[in-house]
């Protein structure tokens, strides 16, 4: 198992419009000692026995204490991630995921109990996303639309979480192109959260294999709701070695984009010794995703490569596929590539406007023929009679 080191950074901003900050966050660099402070030195630190934890919660409810809900969620997570609770929780992947789900469900229950006891907080709720760095993996758990991203030097920016939102459901049903998610008027409507009196929290989890140079970033929708993934990608690449500067720059971009929501970010940079066989595989690649982004946006590169592939004959396609399979990174499953910002699905355009135009042209041509062709005089006379009758009947109608 590779030795893992990391740098941490986290921060929040109330934004430019709202007067109170309903977001909350917490990070622990060493869960074995219940250390809930961000290391100030800015150096890489060793990952402890029970790992490190990053949490972001985005409160909802406005005057009804959204900040209280997010604070309860964060406090519950802190209390349950105590060293005495973690020994059995880290037994295997399944145990880790079940523990994280149970923690979120307990936070949900605590929020509901508080709102029942204090009527002034009724209706409050919160989203939550957390990343648990343990051994050489990142275990991600979330409920709502707060997100977890990873910037990988070979695959670019990948969204590890999947929004629990109305717009995401439209995409899953094939009723909305993913390209339009960011600008959809109902993009802020979520389908799961903590504190919902009608539906108990149903968190999801995911496991990601860590690699040297990975940057894990958690955020509230005050960032991803204002900044597109391409802008997030470019900013993270620019500050890939400095999580503090990266966090500050991302918040600045959100404020420049309007800053109408609270913005919260927690992120870390991973440093580790890759397995020897993976190092050899990486040497085959001439450039990393960071070099490629400087040349062209990831979307343009994928589009050009796709067009070039379609123009080749069958034999050349087979050769190209073999090369691509050799270069394809073994660590990223297909699901991650589907969420990568470098993939853009085709837009299927409807054909009915062309059909309508075709029939209109036929009607115009028929009208011109009838009007000018000498043998069509009887037809013209009949049309005139019909129009005259219609005009007479219209005049006789009493309003």
We report the CATH number of the domain holding residue 201 as 3.60.40.10
Residue 152 burial (CB count, 10 A): 23
Q: Which domain holds residue 359?
A: 352-396
pLDDT at 69 over 50: yes
Query: Which range, of 127-136, 163-172, 230-239, 348-357, averages the lowest pLDDT?
Result: 348-357
- If one compares 65 and 358, the residue with the highest pLDDT of the two is 65
Report yes or no on 323 lying in a domain.
no
Same domain (yes/no): 274, 387: no
Q: 229-238 and 298-311 are packed helices; what angle lies between their axes, rounded to 10 degrees?
A: 110
Same domain (yes/no): 235, 358: no
Report yes or no on 182 lying in a domain.
yes
User: Would you state the pLDDT for residue 284?
Assistant: 52
- Using alpha carbons only, give the angle 169, 55, 73 rounded to the nearest 5 degrees: 85
Among 302, 285, 284, residue whose Cα is nearest residue 293: 302
Q: CA 207, CA 133: separation in Å to the nearest integer? A: 10
Tokens of residue 145, six digits = 């639309």
Q: CA 81, CA 1: separation in Å to the nearest integer? A: 24
Report yes or no on 325 lying in a domain.
no
Report yes or no on 303 lying in a domain.
no
Report yes or no on 320 lying in a domain.
no
* Furthest CA-CA distance within the chain: 100
Report yes or no on 27 lying in a domain.
yes
Same domain (yes/no): 237, 382: no
Report yes or no on 249 lying in a domain.
yes
Same domain (yes/no): 37, 177: yes
Report yes or no on 317 lying in a domain.
no
Alpha-carbon distances, residue 77 vs 80, 181, 190, 245 (angstroms) = 5, 31, 22, 27
Q: In this structure, what DSSP letter does residue 223 have?
A: H
Q: What's the pLDDT band for 136 if we cut at 50, 70, 90? A: very high
DSSP letter string, 115-154? HHH-GGGTT-EEEEEEEEEETTEEEEEEESS-EEEEEETT
Stretch 352-376: mean pLDDT: 69
Summarised one tens digit per residue, pLDDT across range 325-350 is 444 333 444 443 333 332 223 233 33
- If one compares 261 and 275, the residue with the highest pLDDT of the two is 261
Average pLDDT, the chain: 82
Phi first, then psi: what are they for 385, rounded to 5°? -65, -40
Q: What's the pLDDT band for 315 if we cut at 50, 70, 90? A: low
Same domain (yes/no): 112, 255: yes
User: Would you state the pLDDT for residue 365?
Assistant: 78
Tokens of residue 347, six digits = 């837009």
Last residue of a domain, one of 269, 292, 315: 292
Highest mean pLDDT among 1-10, 100-109, 313-322: 100-109
Same domain (yes/no): 132, 11: yes
- If one compares 108 and 303, the residue with the highest pLDDT of the two is 108
Tokens of residue 124, six digits = 């409050």
User: Would you state the pLDDT for residue 5?
Assistant: 94
The H-or-E segment that residue 55 falls in is: strand 52-60
Last residue of a domain, one of 267, 292, 317: 292
Phi first, then psi: what are they for 372, rounded to 5°? -100, -20
Stretch 271-298: mean pLDDT: 56
Same domain (yes/no): 11, 84: yes
Q: CA 70, CA 23: separation in Å to the nearest integer? A: 6
Q: What percent of the chain has pLDDT over 90?
A: 61
* Residue pair 342/298 in contact by the 8 Å Cβ criterion: yes
pLDDT at 87 over 80: yes
Summarised one tens digit per residue, pLDDT across range 185-240 is 999 899 999 999 999 999 999 999 999 999 999 999 999 999 999 999 999 999 98
pLDDT at 71 over 80: yes
Phi first, then psi: what are they for 157, rounded to 5°? -90, 125
Same domain (yes/no): 378, 287: no
State pTM to two decimals: 0.71
Same domain (yes/no): 252, 376: no
User: Would you state the pLDDT for residue 354?
Assistant: 57
pLDDT at 172 over 60: yes
Stretch 103-123: mean pLDDT: 95
Domain count, the chain: 2
- If one compares 153 and 317, the residue with the highest pLDDT of the two is 153
Same domain (yes/no): 284, 356: no
Q: CA 186, CA 174: separation in Å to the nearest integer? A: 16
Q: CA 383, CA 376: separation in Å to the nearest integer? A: 11
Query: Which range, of 33-47, 131-145, 321-335, 371-385, averages the lowest pLDDT?
Result: 321-335
User: Would you state the pLDDT for residue 278?
Assistant: 53
Stretch 271-285: mean pLDDT: 61
Same domain (yes/no): 360, 254: no
pLDDT at 243 over 60: yes
Summarised one tens digit per residue, pLDDT across range 5-55 is 999 999 999 999 999 999 999 999 999 998 898 876 678 999 999 999 999
Last residue of a domain, one of 272, 292, 312: 292
Query: Which range, of 56-65, 112-121, 151-160, 386-395, averages the lowest pLDDT?
Result: 386-395
Same domain (yes/no): 129, 53: yes
């Amino acid at each position: 198992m590779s030795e893992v080191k990391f740098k941490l950074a986290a921060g929040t901003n109330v934004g430019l419009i709202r007067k109170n900050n309903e977001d909350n966050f917490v990070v622990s660099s060493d869960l074995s000692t219940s250390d809930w402070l961000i290391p100030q030195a800015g150096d890489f630190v060793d990952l402890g026995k029970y790992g490190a934890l990053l949490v972001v919660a985005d409160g909802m409810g406005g005057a009804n204490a959204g900040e209280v809900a997010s604070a309860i969620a964060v406090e519950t997570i802190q209390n349950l991630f105590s060293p005495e609770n973690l020994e059995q929780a880290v037994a295997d992947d399944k145990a880790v995921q079940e523990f994280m789900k149970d923690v979120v469900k307990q936070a949900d229950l605590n929020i509901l109990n508080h709102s029942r006891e204090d009527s002034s907080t009724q209706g409050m709720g919160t989203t939550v996303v957390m990343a648990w760095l343990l051994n050489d993996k990142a275990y991600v758990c979330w409920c709502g639309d707060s997100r977890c991203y990873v910037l990988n030097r070979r695959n670019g920016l990948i969204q590890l979480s999947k929004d629990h939102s109305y717009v995401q459901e439209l995409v899953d049903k094939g009723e909305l192109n993913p390209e339009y998610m960011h600008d959809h008027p109902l993009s802020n409507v979520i389908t799961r959260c903590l504190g919902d009196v009608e539906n108990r929290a149903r968190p999801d989890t995911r496991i990601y294999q860590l690699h040297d140079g990975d940057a894990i970033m958690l955020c509230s929708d005050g960032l991803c709701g204002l900044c597109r993934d391409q802008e997030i990608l470019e900013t993270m690449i620019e500050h890939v070695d400095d999580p503090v500067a990266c966090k500050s720059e991302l918040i600045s971009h959100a404020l420049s984009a309007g800053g109408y929501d609270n913005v919260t970010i927690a992120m870390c940079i991973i440093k580790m010794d890759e397995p020897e066989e993976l190092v050899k595989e990486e040497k085959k690649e001439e450039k990393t995703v960071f070099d490629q982004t400087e040349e062209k946006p990831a979307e343009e590169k994928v589009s050009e490569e796709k067009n070039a592939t379609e123009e080749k004959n069958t034999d050349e396609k087979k050769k190209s596929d073999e090369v691509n399979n050799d270069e394809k990174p073994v660590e990223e499953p297909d699901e991650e590539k589907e969420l990568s910002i470098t993939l853009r699905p085709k837009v299927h355009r409807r054909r009915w406007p062309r059909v309508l135009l075709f029939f209109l042209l036929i009607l115009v041509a028929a009208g011109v023929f009838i009007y000018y062709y000498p043998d069509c005089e009887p037809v013209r006379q009949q049309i005139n009679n019909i129009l005259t009758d219609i005009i007479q009947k219209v005049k006789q109608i009493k309003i």
